[in-house]
Each structure stands twice: as structure tokens, then as C-alpha cells.
Amino acid sequence: MTMVEEVRSYLLDLQQRICDAIEAADGKARFLHDDWTRPAGGHLSGDGRTRVLTEGAVFEQAGINFSHVMGASLPPSATAHRPELAGRTFEALGVSLVIHPNNPYVPTSHANVRFFIAEKDGEEPVWWFGGGFDLTPYYGFDDDCMHWHRTARAACEPFGADAYPKYKQWCDAYFFIKHRNEPRGIGGLFFDDLNEGGFEQGLAFMRSVGDHYIPAYLPIVARRKDIPFGERERDFQLYRRGRYVEFNLVYDRGTLFGLQSGGRTESILMSLPPLVKWRYSWAPEPGTPEARLYEHFLQPREWV
């Protein structure tokens, strides 16, 4: 089995397991299955499996995508910090997901695991893994944040004592909305350009991150999904979702890669929430639960 085949087999299985777990947690809605193929001959070819759940009992929208694309050259988002990749053909495989809950007391969550390989005749292939997961609460709970980061640390433990602190810090730095001068959420893990230790080591780490997403997220969902809420909480949730949109469209590498490489727009923008609000120069009243999000949770800190 080639490297690409081994990664593809794992990613398809991961996508199915996560879809099954989200459907079971929702208890009402089912995923729409949208399988697609791009024939060879164009700038980009490949195939994918888009899964979207909407208007569920627990989840307003959940999108879980698998894609496997190949092309003659990498887009600027991939070669900006790796100029040696220019002129190489490439294959990119990944599972990417974003879960937007109904209840404002349940956080939004995101996860992504991916593999790239870039090749050129007469030269060794260049390959790497990337991915991670992060959590975006609207009304935070210390217990949830500690559980999320404990699970992230557990995913990293077999790979050395420095793995969790390194990838936690990278996540804090990556998911930072520079034009707002605030983090998107409470972080988690982020890694990219991972090829140290060889292919099997990199694959094992990617698998561990992917496999720990459901144990990290669903216990939080179960604890918070039935908390009563009103128009005030819903309004704040929609306002804060605006930050999610801003980050994904301005900074997110996966979104930029997909759009710049001519990827499938519907699948790429599936990460955006179905409803969102913006307000001019708004700030929460001091001493409110909304203010506490900014003061306590949207501050880089050690949760475990």
C-alpha cells in the first residue's frame, strides 16, 4: 500500500466514524451525502465525500468533508513559506469538519487532518502532515476547557512530553484574529509541515489527533445541550459567529488553499455558519456573562 493509499483508507474511516457519532448525538437529523468527482485533464482533479447535517435537534449545521485532490502545481497559499515546492505536482488528502450547535452554551468545534505530497521527476517526493482541532465557546465553562485540553494532551502523550505544549502554543498563535486582536476561541492543537520521524510516525500522530476529536467534543455537547437559553444568548451566539467567518475567510490556510487551487466552493465554504450577525462597534456590558467570555476565556492560558 502506498503512502497515499494508507492515508486515504484512514481518512475515509475517520469521516464515517465521526458522522456516525454526530448523528447519534443529534438524535434527529441525518447527513446529506454528496459524493463528487473531478475528472483528470483540468487544473485540479480528484474526488471527495461531502457530508452535511442541518436543522438537527442539537446541531444547527455540521459539515464533515473528505477530499483527495491532485494538480500540476501548488497554489500560492502552499508555496508562500515553501518556495522549493514551486513547479511540483501534488496530491492533497484530508478530512475537515466544523460543527455549529443550536444551543449557545454548546461551543462550536473544528477539526482537520491532512496529508500533502509534492513530486517532481528525478527528485525525492516532499510530503508532510498537518491538522489539529480547536474549540470556540460562546459561554465558557472551565470544566469544558480543561476536558478539551486534557484530551488534546492525551492525543500527544505517546509522541513526547514537548508535543502538547508545542502544538497547543501553535494553535493559540494560529487561531488569532489579528484585526480584532483576540483569539478565535480557547485553542487546542495545530500542527503543519510534519515529517519528522518518518512517514509511519507522522501518520500515527495524525491518527491520534483525528481519533481524539470525538472524545474531546461530545462529552461537552452532552453536558450543555439542554441548558435553557433565550433571545439574549442566541443573539450573542450569532454575533460571535461573525468572528468565525472573519477568520475563515481572511486567514484560514485550508480555505485559502481550496479557493486558490480551484477547489469545490460548496464544500470549502461549508465551514461557515448558516446564520450570523455583525454590529458596529459593539462591546458587552461589564460584569455580564458575555463580558466574561472576553475577560476569562479569550485569553491565552494553560488549561491543564
Q: Quote the CA–CA distance of 170 and 174 in Å, as a whole number.
A: 6
Alpha-carbon gap, residue 26 to 161, rounded angstroms:
36
Q: Which of 58, 65, 72 is nearest to 225 (CA)?
A: 58
H runs (alpha helix) in 178-212: 199-211
The pairing of strands 187-194 and 126-136 is antiparallel
Beta bridge partners of 77: none
d(CA 22, CA 31): 9
Backbone angles phi, psi at 179, to 5 degrees: -75, -15
Q: What is the DSSP letter of 276?
A: -
Catalytic, 179? Answer no
C-alpha distances (whole Å) from 130 to each of 171, 195, 207, 234, 275 are 12, 9, 11, 34, 29
Catalytic residue, candidates 68, 100, 110, 147: 110
Alpha-carbon dihedral 98, 206, 304, 227, rounded to 10 degrees: 30
Q: What is the DSSP letter of 42?
A: B
First to last CA, the chain: 39
- The set of catalytic residues is 110
